Amino acid sequence: MVKTSFISIISQEENNENRGSVEFQVVSFTNKIQRLTSHFQLHKKDYLSQRGLLKILGKRQRLLTYLSKKTRVDYKELKELIDQLENKKTRVDYKEFKELIDQLEKKTR
């Protein structure tokens, strides 16, 4: 009993970012998409994973449209931002993505 509560306290302290936020979900879906595309270079006939990739792409697209309505930033600008982050790094960082969205939101106001 004590062990499980200790582990949960540690995990809560390590993860300060809001995992339920739209920005975090977009970043995590983007990282999953990058992993799956590298997986498909080796396993071209993995059709079950291709179906999962299509589902993740749809979820990310819906979240991006919601985020563009919520922050009043154009959808194309958000998509370009994600493309820039994907090209720059192997993994997209949540904090960097959140800061860039805040900057875009300030420009549109």
* 13-19, long-range: CB < 8 A, 24+ apart: 17/94, 17/95
| Residue scoring higher pLDDT (100 or 3) | 100
CA pair distance 26, 29, nearest whole angstrom: 5
Mean pLDDT of the chain: 83
Residue 7 predicted with pLDDT over 80: no
Task: Output the pTM of the full model.
Answer: 0.75
Domains of the chain: 22-108 (1.10.287.10)
Q: What percent of the chain has pLDDT over 90?
A: 41
